[in-house]
Amino acid sequence: MDFGSDRRATINDVARHAGVAVKTVSRVLNGERAVSDTTRTRVQASIQALDYRPNAAARVLRKRVSRSIAYVCEDIAEPVQARLAGAIEAVAVEADAAMTVSVTHHDPAREQSVIESLLSRQVDGIVLWPTGVRSRFLERLGRIVPVVCVDRPIPGVETDSVFCDNQRGAEEGVSALIAAGHRRIAFVGDLPELFTQAERFTGYKQSLYAAGLAPDDRLVFRRRQDIPALAKQLAYWQLLPDPPTAIFAASSLSATTLVRTLPATADLQLVGFDDFPLADVVRGGISVISQEVPTMGTAAAQAIFRRLSGDRTGFTHTRVPPTFIPRNLVVRADRQSESFSRR
């Protein structure tokens, strides 16, 4: 075991081997046209013979671009963030660039430190899934390197962005429940201060409003949740004179926790935001609003490369509409005893 102990060939070695100047080798490497076919062939043969690989560090030092983009997210093990990584990587390799992945674990301090490290490494751009905490550092970041925010913005800081159209998605899901005859629809979500949660809640209320249904604060649960907390909430709902017949779960965590909490026989229709594995199976199939993750990742990475190719126009804000996947959503005649307006 003796990694690279035999000094790797440099451009000088290739030039000597081919009997040309280094600049000529450089021209071949970079596909510049001002090289005769014979020279080019000879140089390429020498490259082969010496197993030469250009030293990216030297090239970066000289050209000041690294052909590498960074993806900074909260948790690469989380399915949506992992799939986004796949889409970004695909665009990167296509552009002959590398993708580094850094993880913040929702920690603003770590967010700053990993980004500092990336800047030191001369990354050409950053796809950022922000922690959602503003800072002087993040305010200036966009001046140093192209930044595209995904999932949510940096509060108070404008960057290029690619978000899911959360409100529209939620509207679609809740409207489907209304169309299926539900009039009492509960909302289960995460902390209200989260950007995506706020948008989805707005969509929920908007759909109720459009259908002429009165919102009811008692049907809204927006807290960090676990099975005991949800069990308690469900028990409370059952005691209401007019209990909910359906629940809109504003995150896949909410939806899966509900699945684990609800008795198998509970007569409650579920719609969830974000698809999740086996959503097609549990409780006879749960309808979901599914984010178009590949589309979002591709758009985010392309936004970076657009900036790199010199585009200095204003910020672009892309909203990717999610897809509603109906599953086991049957119209329930018994729930339509009262007439009400429907979209």
Site residues for its own copies per CB under 8 A: 1-4, 53-58, 60-61, 66, 68, 75-77, 79, 82-83, 85-86, 89-90, 93, 96, 98-103, 114, 116-122, 142-146, 256, 259-260, 276-278, 280-282, 307, 312-313
Long-range contacts for 123-126 (Cβ within 8 Å, ≥24 apart)?
123/66, 123/68, 123/69, 123/70, 124/65, 124/66, 124/67, 124/68, 124/69, 124/97, 124/304, 124/308, 125/69, 125/70, 125/304, 125/305, 125/307, 125/308, 126/69, 126/70, 126/71, 126/72, 126/304
23 binds, among DNA, its own copies, none (CB under 5 to 8 A by kind): DNA
Residue among 4 and 314 whose Cβ is closer to DNA = 4
**CB of 19: closest distance to its own copies in angstroms?**
24
Q: How far apart are CA 286 and CA 249, in angstroms?
A: 11
Residue among 33 and 136 whose Cβ is closer to DNA = 33
341 binds, among DNA, its own copies, none (CB under 5 to 8 A by kind): none
Residue among 53 and 343 whose Cβ is closer to its own copies = 53
**CB of 123: closest distance to DNA in angstroms?**
15
**CB of 20: closest distance to its own copies in angstroms?**
21
- Reduced to 3 states, what is the DSSP secondary structure of residue 291? coil
Q: How far apart are CA 61 and CA 58, in angstroms?
A: 5
1 binds, among its own copies, DNA, none (CB under 5 to 8 A by kind): its own copies
**CB of 50: closest distance to DNA in angstroms?**
11
142 binds, among its own copies, DNA, none (CB under 5 to 8 A by kind): its own copies
DSSP string, 108-170: HHHHHHHHHHHHHTT-SEEEE---S---HHHHHHHHHS-EEEESSPBTTB--EEEEE-HHHHH
Residues that bind DNA (CB under 7 A): 7-8, 10-12, 19-24, 26-27, 29-30, 33-36, 38-40, 52, 54-55, 58-59, 61-63
* Four-point Cα dihedral 316, 317, 321, 322, nearest 10: 110
Q: Are 219 and 184 in contact (CB under 8 A)?
A: yes
Residue among 108 and 243 whose Cβ is closer to its own copies = 108
119 binds, among its own copies, DNA, none (CB under 5 to 8 A by kind): its own copies
Q: How far apart are CA 297 and CA 304, in angstroms?
A: 11
**CB of 222: closest distance to its own copies in angstroms?**
23
Lookup: tokens for 309: 């190719």
**CB of 48: closest distance to DNA in angstroms?**
15
Residue among 178 and 268 whose Cβ is closer to its own copies = 268
**CB of 2: closest distance to DNA in angstroms?**
17
- Closest among 343, 329, 322 to 167, alpha carbons compared: 322
143 binds, among its own copies, DNA, none (CB under 5 to 8 A by kind): its own copies
**CB of 142: closest distance to DNA in angstroms?**
21
103 binds, among its own copies, DNA, none (CB under 5 to 8 A by kind): its own copies
